[in-house]
Amino acid sequence: MLDNRSLQLWVERVSLEWFGRPFLHQATFNARLKATGGRYFTRSHHIEISPHQLEAFGADETEKIIKHELCHYHLHLMNRGYRHRDADFKELLARVGGSRYCSSLPDGAGRRVIPYRYMLICQSCGMEYKRKKRVDPARYACGRCRGKLTILTLDKDMAP
């Protein structure tokens, strides 16, 4: 696993190599980033990268995320379209080979997985509805046949 200093050097190298411009701000890992690979801050110009992406998908995918964030960085500093919807951003991203979207993390890779604990079962047609939180079956009806529902508590070993 890389530390923040190694990430800083990596981002500076990618910036010079692919954009021909220096990265003059701070790049850090942020372990709280789970739904996104990285982010760019328009006020401070700092970049944060998710270490979970590096662990799950390796250096090549992480470098594509770095290129994506550097596109935001350099375009913003040049007063050009740095947002995802802007043509300048899309064109530069394609030219440097950055990723448009990051891959979803697999279960357990930095994300807390909450198993289903309850199952509502229709008494008429047998339709099953999995739920993480307990609900009152008397307040709901089957979405398929409008039948009555009963609730079943799943064991932790049985839950997917």
- Reading the block at residue 98, the tokens are 């950055």
Residue entry with tokens 């939180």: 133
Instruction: For residue 135, give Cα distances in angstroms to 61, 104, 105, 131.
Output: 41, 29, 29, 8
- CB 93 within 8 Å of CB 56: no
91 is catalytic: no
CA distance 5 to 7: 5
Residue in 31, 23, 64 with CA at minimum distance from that of residue 47: 23
From the list 61, 69, 91, 128, the catalytic residue is: 69
- Reading the block at residue 65, the tokens are 């995320």
Residue 120's Cβ-count burial label (10 Å; 0-12, 13-18, 19+) is middle
Cα atoms in the Cβ-side hemisphere of radius 13 Å centred on 68: 18
Would you name the residues annotated as active-site residues?
69
